[in-house]
């Protein structure tokens, strides 16, 4: 952390965030000779992987894919140890990248950006932090992450609970020792499902409060086969290029089937599901081509997982509570390591709070379903104010004092998920309206960073000082994003993709579905002189 406040410093670009997005963005801009001031609220780099240190945290995109491809030296020299990387290893990788490309010198750490206001007369963004910094910049790039604004529901009496509480997305650096404790985990999304088996092993007793059962498939994590890693590295460019053509920018190495369940005889259907279940991870949803679009096929996939849950969980009543009756893949599928098996442990209880919510916290625990639960510690695995939360918690004002919060009061509106009308020279990395959370995040980040850096160079070469999404282009883009989601089953459940997990948040499907199509459309827009952006 630096001691000196930055007052009145002027730079070409302010970048907000030191996750994978902010780091690569900063690297590219500096390489182009632009002056950059970057801010980060944590005390070091890593973003998501800096904050999410909960036990069991690991990536569910495979290691050889969940990494930068911009530097061949980097991808050749780094050795991943497991099929799916654990959080400490990804954080070590982020630190390695920061060291290797000397990125930290551009960042002020422990500095949260509180406001960013566009000064139209000077065509400058005025950016302020909670440390009292004030920096002016021609461009503002928000690399604040899609899942970085923690959501802790407004539980009655939470302030009177005397024990410690933790959010999975803001886990203490020094770790937490639950040995001998009675612990509650609230929430059964990816973070809950990953952490529950580990907390169960450590705690004296664990109570899991589940509002909605979630579909989860085995990750089948294992040590990364060195031969496999070497063969990928022998032609990493080809491996990356194949992934780039996949709908979610990963998973080219295992077949993505195009046929429908309805095209194959029942015995073949089950064998297919079994094969994909055995492979592990998200590829389960690629066992048939229409799992995400056909309710009938989707039900077959869901039935298969429900059958597996009933086989794994010994107590039939608990198994029923754990069986989702929803659309598989509609909420984000989870890849787990021993999640359902955890409910066979004698020290684990499951409480279904789907029909009657947690009533209140007390000094010694919480009350739900008319019952008191004595607790030493509580883990909120309650997710995030996704995609818009990190942006809207900052007071961002564009032309004529228009606030982003007001502009997006009925849901986010962007052009390409990169820019929004009324906010010149503001770019969002992996913003709403871009593939973002429905693609390999690192690949999406690289594509956005390169696109933004090129757009700024292009504008600078033409002495363009104001580069802004045009309203009609934005309106058309929002329609495209909506149309693509409506062709799928995604809008039919209460997922965070729709903002449904945060009370009062407008219900809008936020990500763009289909990475390759997105890249093609974005490239065509650039080739046509950044069509749909107003330039002055």
Whose CB is nearest to ligand N01? Answer: 189
Written as six digits, the tokens of 165 are 């509480």
CB of 209 to ligand N01, least distance (A): 6
Residue 477 three-state SS:
helix
Q: CA 136 to CA 142: how far, in whole Å?
A: 15
- Measured from the CB atom, the residue of 36 and 379 that comes closer to ligand N01 is 379
- Give 154 or 267: the residue with its C-beta nearer to ligand N01: 154
Q: What is the C-alpha separation between 453 and 364, in angstroms, rounded?
A: 53
> Shortest gap between Cβ of 237 and ligand N01 (angstroms)?
25
Looking at the Cβ atoms of 158 and 312, the one nearer to ligand N01 is: 158
Give 248 or 396: the residue with its C-beta nearer to ligand N01: 248
The per-residue b/e assignment along 374-406, b for 16 or more CB within 10 angstroms, e otherwise, is ebbbbbbbbbbbbbbbbbbbbebbbeeebebee
Assess contact for 280 and 338: CB atoms under 8 A: no
Placement of tokens 């069991």 in the chain = 56
How far lies 135's CA from each of 6, 132, 500, in Å?
7, 10, 36
Strand intervals (E) in 146-261: 165-167, 182-186, 205-210, 216-218
Residue 507 tokens read as 């219900």
Residue with smaller CB distance to ligand N01, 111 or 212: 212
User: Closer to ligand N01 at the Cβ: 38 or 186?
Assistant: 186
Tokens for 307, please give them: 């059958």
Taking the complex as a whole, the smallest distance from the CB of residue 333 to ligand N01 amounts, in Å, to 9
We find the least distance from the C-beta atom of residue 288 to ligand N01, in angstroms, to be: 22
Report how far residue 280's alpha carbon sits from residue 62's, in angstroms, rounded to the nearest whole number.
Answer: 11
We find the least distance from the C-beta atom of residue 254 to ligand N01, in angstroms, to be: 18
The minimum distance between CB 223 and ligand N01, in angstroms, equals: 18
Min dist CB 219 to ligand N01, Å, is 8
Q: Is 174 helix (H, G, I), strand (E, B) or coil?
A: coil
Interacting residue ranges for ligand N01, rule: CB under 6 A? 59-60, 147, 153, 168, 186-192, 194, 209, 211-212, 332, 353, 357-358, 381-384, 437, 496, 501
Please say which residue, 335 or 404, places its beta carbon nearer to ligand N01: 335
The pair phi, psi for residue 471, each rounded to 5°, is -60, -40
């Amino acid at each position: 952390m630096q001691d000196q406040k930055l007052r009145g410093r002027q730079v070409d670009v302010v970048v907000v965030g030191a996750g994978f997005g902010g780091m690569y963005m900063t690297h590219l801009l500096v390489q182009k000779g632009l002056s950059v001031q970057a801010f980060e609220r944590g005390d070091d780099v890593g973003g998501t992987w800096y904050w999410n240190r909960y036990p069991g945290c690991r990536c569910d995109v495979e290691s050889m894919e969940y990494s930068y491809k911009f530097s061949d030296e980097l991808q050749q020299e780094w050795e991943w140890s497991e099929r799916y990387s654990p959080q400490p290893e990804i954080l070590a990788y982020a630190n390695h990248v920061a060291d290797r490309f000397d990125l930290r010198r551009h960042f002020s750490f422990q500095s949260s950006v509180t406001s960013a206001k566009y000064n139209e007369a000077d065509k400058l963004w005025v950016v302020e932090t909670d440390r009292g910094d004030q920096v002016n910049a021609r461009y503002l790039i928000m690399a604040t992450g899609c899942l970085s604004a923690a959501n802790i529901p407004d539980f009655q009496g939470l302030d009177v609970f005397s024990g410690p509480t933790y959010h999975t997305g803001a886990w203490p650096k020094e770790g937490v020792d639950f040995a001998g404790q009675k612990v509650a985990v609230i929430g059964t999304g990816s973070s809950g499902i990953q952490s529950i088996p580990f907390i169960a092993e450590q705690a004296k007793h664990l109570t899991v409060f589940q509002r909605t059962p979630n579909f989860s498939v085995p990750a089948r994590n294992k040590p990364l086969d060195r031969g496999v890693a070497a063969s990928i590295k022998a032609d990493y460019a080809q491996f990356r290029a194949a992934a780039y053509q996949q709908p979610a920018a990963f998973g080219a190495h295992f077949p993505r089937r195009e046929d429908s369940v309805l095209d194959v005889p029942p015995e073949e259907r089950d064998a297919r599901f079994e094969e994909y279940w055995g492979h592990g991870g998200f590829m389960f949803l690629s066992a048939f081509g229409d799992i995400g679009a056909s309710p009938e096929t989707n039900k077959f996939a869901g039935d298969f997982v429900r059958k597996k849950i009933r086989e794994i969980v010994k107590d039939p009543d608990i198994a029923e509570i754990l069986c989702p009756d929803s659309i598989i893949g509609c909420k984000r599928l989870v890849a787990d390591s021993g999640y359902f098996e955890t409910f066979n442990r004698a020290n684990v209880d499951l409480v279904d709070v789907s029909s009657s919510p947690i009533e209140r916290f007390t000094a010694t625990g919480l009350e739900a379903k008319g019952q008191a639960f004595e607790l030493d510690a509580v883990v909120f695995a309650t997710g995030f104010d996704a995609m818009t939360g990190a942006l809207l918690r900052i007071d961002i004002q564009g032309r004529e004092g228009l606030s982003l919060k007001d502009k997006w009061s009925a849901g986010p509106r962007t052009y390409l998920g990169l820019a929004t009308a009324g906010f010149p020279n503001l770019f969002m990395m992996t913003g709403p309206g871009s593939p973002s959370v429905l693609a390999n995040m690192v690949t999406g980040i690289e594509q956005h960073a390169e696109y933004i850096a090129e757009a700024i160079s292009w504008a600078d070469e033409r002495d363009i000082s104001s580069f802004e999404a045009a309203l009609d282009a934005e309106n058309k883009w929002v329609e495209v994003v909506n149309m693509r989601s409506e062709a799928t089953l995604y809008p039919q459940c209460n997922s965070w993709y729709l903002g449904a997990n945060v009370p009062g948040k407008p219900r809008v499907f936020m990500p763009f579905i289909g990475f390759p199509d997105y890249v093609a459309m974005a490239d065509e827009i650039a080739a046509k002189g950044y069509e749909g952006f107003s330039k002055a």
